[in-house]
Amino acid sequence: MKAVFYETYGDPDVLQYGEQPDPKVGPDSVLVDVRAASVNPVDWKITAGYLDGALPTVFPVIPGWDVAGVVVQPGPSVVEFEAGDEVIGYVRMDTVGLGTFAEQVAAPVRTLARKPSNISWAEAATMPLAGLTAYQSLRAVGVSDGDTVLVHNGAGGVGTYAIQIARAWGARVLATASEKNHDFLRSLGAEPLTYGEGLADRIAEAAPEGLDAVVDFVGGDDWVASLEHLRTPERVASVTDAAVKDKGGRYIFVRPNPADLLALTELVESGSVKPVLAESFPLERAADAFRSSIEGHVRGKIAVTVGEQG
């Protein structure tokens, strides 16, 4: 099969496009014809070697954890999916090596759910990691109807999902971003706040009675500054800074969870959540997709597509 792969750590220039062995399908996995995958910051960080101390790696590495595609061969013990089913998945394995930037991937059933019927392949591919991160972060801090929630980095890939999910659950959402993204945040249902110096005062003005929950998707000092307005100290979660645990909060490293993924599918199909696709590249231009992600300043997510997008 054709795939994107790398044989040594480095910048996007190490990515190659060429032949790799076909995947082997285990008893509780399915073979998926990939229609699209998406780029997450963790992908290029792994490629650069930044997570070498935490994640076992087997070279050559096919990057990618997100997938949208069609089941072509269920494993012998699989009852959840049949050939022809359209699925999405957060296909994170115990080792780094066999990812989703390829024509096919063997995906464990525990990583998959059905694809929403009302969006494109590229949009669907943006859902798993970013959507699950947002969903699991909001669940960790117990967001529910009537809460006032602050989302840090609301215009990013995870933040766009978090705003919409929290709104679907009945919460009022404040979100930080640069001023150029304020109208975009409003279109998602959030009340925008400019990040940086003076944020605590802006929070006090927007939410004089305080915040019920805070979710941080950017790191830095802003999430710490917002804690003085948090009514219940432990209702804070961060995906970037494990020091949040010292404040009584939760550090989130997203986990594959088919029930959570199905809940996201249902939110998308109901119209409550709409994936925000910033850019799309063909698979052979994965290095350009990585560069775009590294440069940042995109609204939503970046996808790579495989084959015809019918």
Dihedral of CA 112/118/122/128: which sign? negative
Q: What is the pTM of this model?
A: 0.96
Contact 63, 22 (CB under 8 A): no
Q: Which two tokens stand for residue 82?
A: 């049949």
**Among 4, 24, 34, CA closest to 309:** 34
Q: Which of 202, 201, 198, 195 is nearest to 219 (CA)?
A: 195
Give residue-wise pLDDT tens across range 270-279: 999 999 999 9
Task: Check pLDDT > 80 for residue 308.
Answer: no
Question: Per the CATH hierarchy, to which homologous superfamily does domain 2-128+275-305 belong?
Answer: Medium-chain alcohol dehydrogenases, catalytic domain (3.90.180.10)
Mean pLDDT across 27-33: 98
Task: Assess contact for 202 and 178: CB atoms under 8 A.
Answer: no
Determine the average pLDDT of the residues in 172-201.
96
pLDDT digits (tens, 9 = 90+) for 214-268: 999 999 989 999 999 999 999 999 999 999 999 999 999 999 999 999 999 999 9
Domain boundaries, the chain: 2-128+275-305, 141-251
Place 167 in a pLDDT band, splitting at 50, 70 and 90. Answer: very high
Q: Inter-axis angle of helices 128-140 and 258-270, to 10 degrees?
A: 100
3-state secondary structure the chain: CEEEEECCCCCHHHCEEEECCCCCCCCCEEEEEEEEEEECHHHHHHHCCCCCCCCCEEEEEECCCEEEEEEEEECCCCCCCCCCCEEEEECCCCCEEECCCECEEEEEHHHEEECCCCCCHHHHHCCHHHHHHHHHHHHHCCCCCCCEEEEECCCCHHHHHHHHHHHHCCCEEEEEECHHHHHHHHHHCCEEEECCCCHHHHHHHHCCCCECEEEECCCCCHHHHHHHHECCCCCEEECCCHHHHHHCCEECCCCCCHHHHHHHHHHHHHCCCCCCEEEEEEHHHHHHHHHHHHHCCCCCEEEEECCCCC
CB 124 within 8 A of CB 36: yes
User: What pLDDT shows up at residue 200?
Assistant: 94
pLDDT given for residue 309 in this prediction: 64
For 140-158, write each residue's pLDDT tens digit.
Answer: 999 999 999 999 999 999 9
Rounded CA gap, 210 and 67, in Å? 39
Q: From CA 123, how far away is CA 37, in angstroms rounded?
A: 9
% of the chain residues with pLDDT over 70 = 99
Domain 141-251 annotated CATH 3.90.320.10: no
